[in-house]
Amino acid sequence: MHHRRNTLLINLLFLFIFVESPIFITPVHAKPENLSALLQRWTPPEVKKSVKKSPKKKAAQVALGVEALPLEYWIYFEAKAALEKKLDLKSIESLEKRILEVRLNADTRALEKEFDELFYALEIKRAERQVRLKSWRLATRSFTHAMNALHTFKWIYYWRAETSDALVALCTRKAKVKDDACPVLAKRVVDAFPKSATETKVLRDLPAIEASPLVDVATADRLSQPYPEKTEQDEEAFADVLDDYLNGKDHELFEHAKLFMNDFPKSILRFRALFLMAEFDFKFNRKKDAKEKYDQIISQIPLSYYAVVAAERNGVQLRDQVKKDMIKVDLDQLNLQYPEKQALVRAESLYVKKHYEEVALELETLTRVRAYNLDTILYVMGLAHQSNQDLTAFRIANELIQRKYDGLLANEFLEMIFPDRYSEDIELYSKLNKIDPLWVMSLMKQESGFKAPILSSSGAMGLMQLMPFTALDVQKDVLLSSLKQPSNNISIGTKYIASLAEKYNGNMVFALAAYNAGPNRVAKWKKDAKPNWGMTEFIESIPYKETRDYVMSIFRNHYWYQYRKGQSAQSVFDPNFDLKRPIDTKTDSKTDARVDVKLEAKK
């Protein structure tokens, strides 16, 4: 009993000390405040020196949680910075040891994956140094250790031309006993990089190194998700509705659509069924019925592609419904459990110190989104947005959409859903490549959520999710590790989407579909299309759900970015969409093979 009482007192004391953070120090009868104002409370990093001079200001800084970061974050920041420097072997080993120690005793689990990645990236650096010291056996072990532990596309990010030089020196040394391990390592590196990659040029000249047939997996056409997607029960039932729509069966469409909506009242596809019925009402001049269905779509899913099309069909603009009222948040009402409060305090501290990527690591631990109240969701979403962590903000926003939040068309909410990032680079490279910059921004939002160093499981890199072979086709001398740099990625990605737009005579439906699923598949879909189809029919006919949703989402994004940039609204219907207009369908046989190999790999 005595032990339990002491434990309780300690916990209460720790809680009192720890929660000195702006989200927990509020007046008892605090009123809801503007979200944007709450997020401006932070002490600017530029005035840190003056803060230290004043005891009162120092106390205020502690209250903001600035000193709440645990030790593991400082080790993490040190290791990240070290990877960009030249380190001697002793420094590398010391840093690895500290990573292992802090990994075992960490206060937060948010950094586990990041510590693992940094440790094995340092192992690659360690191998380079061991080669210089002619510690051949240890170098082989370090290379093997790193390459086995990291996913292929992860260690590519840390592989430099100097690393290849070290591996060549390791493989070509004179040894009394033949080393079979080194050629195997070299072959793995050669197979992982496209043939024209600068980083591995010296490795390809090694004897007994032949390119593996699997190299085409790394040079396949651009795909973002596995195809075809597993068919669910409601998707299977919806097939009849879609078939009726694409074949112009008016009566059958309504019969099957009503049956579908009755059988699957909670399916997300019910809105698609409603849209297809509205399209037929519009097509056959049943204007009143069409308007009612379009209005339902606008009211229930206002941030969708279908809502944008529905509004234009009804002769209205969604932007006219945008509310200018500020979002209000009551900090007294945040319903977080104690460990979640800890995570939020750390996130605030990281935000103050401008460690924005790490803010997302902490916010991603707040997984009970469905249990949070509106104030909590809006505050966390706002913090993610202010930290430029848009993928986290989008994840949280999905819960508001599910709850039918009435502020989806609030101006401040739209700023978080359609953030304005990397505008200068986008404007520059769009102008050079003669493409509307809003298409580039809209595509980037869909591809990466504006997360610059993002790397997909299939090897797509950076803001515009470029596959290695695509980047090298566009710019022959590009270093793959440079694709995590925003400017480089935007430059190459913009040039690529602009080339697709030119190939398809400005038809952005085709260009976007080709960016996602490859030009050969677009050529097939165009060939299979009926000559009387318009843009909506063609998009609905795309057999890959991921590509269909991708094209719809980018058209939706483009509409709202026109609003965000203060541009007049253009028609959502692509003026260059024309199924009858011929396009260049000449394709390289290698490209066809790449698409098929990549397709199988992603399955």
Helix (H, G, I), strand (E, B) or coil at 214: helix
Which residue blocks in 133-232 are alpha helix, DSSP H? 136-149, 152-155, 161-172, 181-192
**Helical H runs in 284-389?**
287-300, 305-313, 338-352, 356-363, 374-386
Residue 354 φ then ψ, to 5° = 65, 25
| Cβ within 8 Å of residue 545, ≥6 positions away | 228, 229, 235
The conformational region for residue 16 under phi > 0 = left, psi -120 to 50 = alpha, else beta, is alpha
DSSP 8-state class, residue 220: P
- On whether the CB atoms of residues 487 and 425 are closer than 8 A, the answer is yes
Distance CA 597, CA 588 (A): 15
Considering the candidates 340, 358, 362, 447, report the single residue annotated as catalytic: 447
Q: What is the DSSP letter of 336?
A: -
CA distance 355 to 358: 6
Instruction: List Cβ neighbours of 223 (8 Å cut-off, separation of 6 or more).
Output: 458, 516, 517, 518, 595, 598, 599, 602
CB 480 within 8 A of CB 468: yes
Note whether 51 and 377 are within 8 A (CB): no
The string over 49-59, giving b where at least 16 C-beta atoms fall within 10 Å of a residue's C-beta and e elsewhere, is eebeeeeeeee
Cα–Cα dist 501/513, whole Å: 11
Residue 574 identity = D
101 a catalytic residue: no
Pick the closest to residue 371 from 409, 340, 347 (CA basis). Answer: 340
114 contact partners, CB below 8 Å, separation of at least 6: 76, 361
Assigned token pair, 491: 């430059």
Q: How far is CA 409 from CA 4, 114, 318, 321, 418, in A?
A: 51, 36, 9, 7, 12
| Residues 6+ positions from 282 with CB-CB distance below 8 Å | 290, 294, 313
Backbone angles phi, psi at 68, to 5 degrees: -90, 0
Query: What whole-number distance in Å separates Cα of residue 540 and Cα of residue 242?
Result: 8
SS3 407: coil
Show which residues are catalytic. Answer: 447
